[in-house]
Chains A and B, each alone.
Chain A
Amino acid sequence: MTEYRTDDGAQPERDLASEADDPGRSTAGSSQPHGTVAHANAGVTPADAADAARLVSFGLQPKLLPARDIEYGELLRRHRDDPAFARLTDAIAAGLGLVVLEVSTRAGMAVTAAEDSVFAVRMGDYAKRAAPDSADRFLHGLAHLAVAAMAFPRPEDLSDDGYIGRVTVNGIDGFVRQACRRLEERAAEAGENTDPATDAPGLEAAWRVYARRSATGATKDARRLAGSTTGIVGKAVAFLVDSGFLQRTGDDAGGAYRTTARYQLQVRDMAGSAAMTELLELGVVPVGDGNATLLPPLENHDLDLVADAGLPFYADQRGPS
């Protein structure tokens, strides 16, 4: 999947060339008539620029659905049918510091912020208390990762455009907690002492930070305790709703949500690969070949299920290298 990035070239020609290769946009690419590039360079009018900028501005309102707005839908059709207009729109987006993920009637003008863009979300603004305290900062990041993992539990779910993930706040918290518990048990089986040294809190294992934070807590005004893990996950999903990535469907289990096409694009094309790159730089990832890592066991595999394990995963396939 090719990404549009401001730092690797905002030239319209390059964007257009990569667009044709992009499998996610094959419908836009296939209908593109040849020889329109020269024509487009000649015919850009201020009105075209205004329309293109308007389409980008629609993209900046992530909760707006193309099906609900006639003008939005028309501009999307024009983007699909008129390559010159498409190129102009993409160039405006790139100039603003936006990355175009997909332009379709399904996802709308799906744009997201490039790394140093004015549109980017910073952790300092997201959670005021989190910046100095690395444990809180980590928990907020992990909450977002866990939302994505629960929304798209299998690799196939992430790549299937028609897939709609459903998550609940308590489900996400329980999921991460179980994974942490499994690690705790494995550490106990191996006879490790996971209690961190008092003067080096940064060396504490990540799962332990999550495990010892309480899941919830009673507050005076009956709201979620902000520092609890369900509070942190609740903040993450509420934020993603505002980003147009999730839609609230009910109040079960701390709040139920379903994913939008934009979220799938964002996780697949931006966040997942970025986190993966970072993990590779830390030198800890067994390089994935795209196949599912959650595989059924071998024929003679003896399932070692602990009564309290929570997740019946298999130890030899789950572990870090």
Chain B
Amino acid sequence: MTSPPPGAATPQLSGPSRPAPGPAADEGLARRLRALACTAPLHDLDVRKANLAGEYSGYAMAEVALAAIDLVTLTMDFDTGADHEQIVARLLPRVAAQTPTRPAAEHERVARWVLENLINVGSVDRGFRAVYGTFGQDGAYVRRDYDFKLIEEVPGPGGTVYLRTTDEAVNVLVGALDTDVTSAQIAAEVKLEVLISRGRLADAQLAAEQARYRTVQYAEALRKTLEATRRNVRAVDWLRAVPDMIAEALDHIADRYRHENAILTNIRKARDEAVDQRGPDHKRQAAELVDIVKDCIRRHTQLQSRLLDAGPMFRAEQDRQAFAPPTAHAGIDLYGQLIAPLLPLPVERAIRVTDAFFARGTGLRTPTAVRVGDLVDLLLTPPLEREHLGAEMPEPDLIATPDDNRFSEEQLASAMDLLELPPDAPRRLSGLLAEARRRDPALPYLVALLAVHAASPPVGTAYRQGEERLLFAVDDGTELDDEEFGGADLIVGTALLDAVGMAAGRTEGV
């Protein structure tokens, strides 16, 4: 395939008298048109947000869409894809950051809208179509349909539906069209190492993320190949080609594993040194990089265990298929003689074959013969109501249990009110007890119990539940001088918890 000479392009602009260029000149154009089409749904989102009821101009829809594609690609695992709800949930912080003043329900609506539009839920094949024109062999102009998907829904275990990004989406996203998976990965990682050695972590992170996209793509490709080898032992070269392929893949993993471990060591060093020289931002970047490379290693390990299973699987299939006694007569090779020749045919011709198979391959149905008498009954019978809620529950027979609580609700409220201390002013237990005694003679006992309980406050639980303040009690050695109670005169106070910071710290933690 050659590109047209540079001189040929100029007369093209001169007018309609110019003969149509051949298909060779057109092909590159068609490929670029298709690549361009893949970005169209993203632009379309920003155009169409005006049609949504409400004020949505503050959202950058294309940005949310690209983030969604990133998220789906990164959560695409070996077996399954990304969970729809999980993606929506992980999109929310970004959407919320775009318009912090808007309600959370609207943020979720935007995230869902973007994700559903990327799947294109409205169309029957859940994909996109772009129309473009090319010149055929005879110079005639033909309009063609280009069908593509960005995020597709695939079946998961147990009938669930997962999301996966298509090759088109990954290619558009990574920006590397028509590249070899293996070499691109190696290139990405060499680049990463160079970047790290020069200390350019921002670039290194970009490269590491690209390496991870490549890893995902590579794992996906191998998974499909392995699945296919289960079918017919004779269809694959079990003697050389498949073992070679597996060995090659294992070599590749060993190589990558060594490589990535080396990178990991380097970045960890960079991360630990970064803080004193270049500031906390650098350290955070390095920590994220460690995460990404660790994820790469995890994916490789997963891939490796699959590859190791391949050998035993082959031997079992070999036993089953090759050592069975030969039968007297051979049947039809349904795939080789029917499906394989059928699929390349135009659909209007292929349909004759599938119709013939359908007519004779579906068995028989006994036609229902209805008498008029039965028909009347049948038509007059009210439809059976479906039981949505199951059988009716019997009304439970409840017996009122005696109220044996030592303290009443009012007393508890009163005690809690008493312990509602400002964070900067802790108080002695003795003072609290005296004040409680003035309110209610039974109250000091409850206050004392609460104070003792606060001596070992459940800090972790409070953080997990997002509490903002926590009661605590400390013993500083002072004796409690009280008419009812003895022991230490605890200092009781309120601690403020930084729940938001704690949550952020937990997600960043390695």
Partner-B contacts on A (CB < 8 A) = 23, 60, 62, 98, 111-113, 115, 117-121, 123, 125-126, 134-135, 137-138, 140-142, 144-146, 148-149, 152-160, 169-170, 173-176, 178-180, 183, 191, 193, 195-199, 201-210, 212-218, 222, 227-228, 230, 239-240, 243-245, 251-254, 262, 266-268, 270-279, 281-282, 284-286, 288, 290-297, 303, 305, 307-313, 318-321
Contacts and interface: CB of A to CB of B under 8 A. Distances in A.
Contacts of A179: 335, 339-340, 343
Contacts of A117: 364
Contacts of A293: 333, 335-337, 340
A202 B338 contact: no
Given A144-B361, A218-B161, A276-B338, 11 more contacts: A60-B366, A138-B351, A142-B350, A160-B327, A179-B343, A180-B343, A193-B134, A205-B344, A267-B334, A293-B337, A308-B221
A131 to B, nearest CB: 11
B227 interface: yes
B354 A138 contact: yes
A216 B353 CA distance: 25
Interface string B132-147: 0010000000111111
15 contacts: A119-B364, A142-B342, A202-B347, A215-B155, A217-B119, A240-B363, A266-B360, A270-B361, A272-B332, A279-B342, A293-B335, A295-B234, A308-B220, A310-B225, A313-B235
B153 interface: yes
B86 to A, nearest CB: 14
A112 B347 CA distance: 28
A251 B158 contact: yes
B343 A274 contact: no
Interface of B: 1, 23, 27, 30, 84, 119, 121, 124-127, 131, 134, 142-147, 149, 152-155, 157-159, 161, 167, 181-182, 218, 220-222, 224-225, 227-229, 231-232, 234-242, 245, 321, 324, 326-367
A278 B330 contact: no
> Would you list the 7 A-B pairs with minimal beta carbon distance, nearest first?
A141-B354, A158-B331, A293-B336, A243-B363, A271-B361, A202-B348, A195-B144
Contacts of A285: 337, 341
B299 to A, nearest CB: 16
Contact of A121 (B27, B145, B362): B362
A181 to B, nearest CB: 8
A286 to B, nearest CB: 7
Contacts of A144: 354, 357-358, 361-362
Given A148-B361, A254-B155, A295-B234, A268 B331 contact: yes
A155 B333 contact: yes
B348 A121 contact: no
A180 B331 CA distance: 24
A59 B340 CA distance: 34
Contact of B339 (A146, A239, A310): A146
B125 A212 contact: yes
A23 B144 CA distance: 53
Contacts of B350: 138, 142, 206
B507 to A, nearest CB: 28
Given A111-B364, A195-B144, A23 B328 contact: yes
